Every structure is written in C-alpha cells, then in structure tokens.
C-alpha cells in the first residue's frame, strides 16, 4: 500500500455528526467505530466515535474521532484543510455545503492571482480553504 497523508480531526463529542456531515459534503464510504465496538460497552463513551474514516470517490480521505476519555480536547487555529483543483462545479458544491451553517472569512470569488478562492470555518469549527484554478 502506498503511503498517504490525510487530516485526522479530533472532535469534542460530536464526531459522528461531523463525519456524517462530511459524507454529505463529499460523498463516499463512511466507516464509524465506537469505543463500545472495542470493549468499552458499559462506559458513558460507548457510543462515541473511537475511529471514523471517510473515503471519497475523488480520492479524499478524512479521519476523525471523539476525544478519548481522560484526554483534553484542544482545538487549534493553526491548521486548515485545503481543497484545490480545476473542477469548478465540484469545488463550488463542496464550498456551498461546508460554508452552510459555518462562518465565511473570505468569500469564494476571483482573487488577484487569478483563481477563485474562499476560506471558511464549518459548523464543527474546522477551517477550510477552497481554491479553483483557472483552466488553461
């Protein structure tokens, strides 16, 4: 198997909702495993997500989980997930869904470098950048 690099996002108890939202945005196959699936059946975290993975037809992989018991959830503002390419319809569709219910910091529009670009924080607090390159 080839190596891959993909985001692994830690959530504060809402990983199931977030990962299902990303499935709605990107499509694909979502597999969710709970802490209960791995033995914590009688705990308050039994239904929380220990590991989730979304693999899309576009080749994206997003992983995520609820913060495990005993660990502090420390969301940060030092990372954004970037989507880029030249399929304008596909990328605009992702943008519309990611921005819905979130906060747009840079509207998706033509920028001085010639591409369309936008930046938003989705309803789960994850930062996204979308860049639509100009087709030659």
Nearest alpha carbon to residue 82 among 130, 27, 134: 130
Of 94-98, 103-107, 113-117, give the lowest mean pLDDT range: 113-117
Quote the pTM value. Answer: 0.85
d(CA 126, CA 15): 12
Domains and CATH numbers, the chain: 8-66 (3.10.180.10), 81-132 (3.30.720.110)
Region 15-36: what's the mean pLDDT? 96
How would you class 101 by CB atoms within 10 Å of its CB: exposed for 0-12, middle for 13-18, buried for 19 or more?
A: exposed
Which helix H or strand E contains 86, and what residues bound it? none
């Amino acid at each position: 198997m080839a190596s891959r690099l993909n985001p692994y996002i830690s959530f504060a108890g809402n990983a199931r909702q977030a990962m299902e939202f990303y499935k709605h945005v990107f499509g694909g196959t979502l597999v969710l495993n709970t802490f209960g699936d791995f033995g914590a059946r009688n705990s308050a975290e039994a239904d929380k997500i220990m590991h989730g993975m979304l693999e899309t037809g576009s080749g994206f992989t997003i992983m995520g989980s609820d913060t495990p018991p005993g660990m502090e959830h420390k969301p940060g503002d030092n990372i954004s997930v970037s989507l880029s390419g030249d399929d304008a319809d596909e990328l605009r569709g992702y943008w519309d869904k990611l921005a819905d219910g979130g906060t747009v910091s840079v509207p998706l529009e033509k920028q001085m470098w010639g591409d369309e670009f936008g930046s938003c924080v989705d309803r789960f607090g994850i930062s996204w950048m979308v860049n639509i390159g100009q087709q030659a």
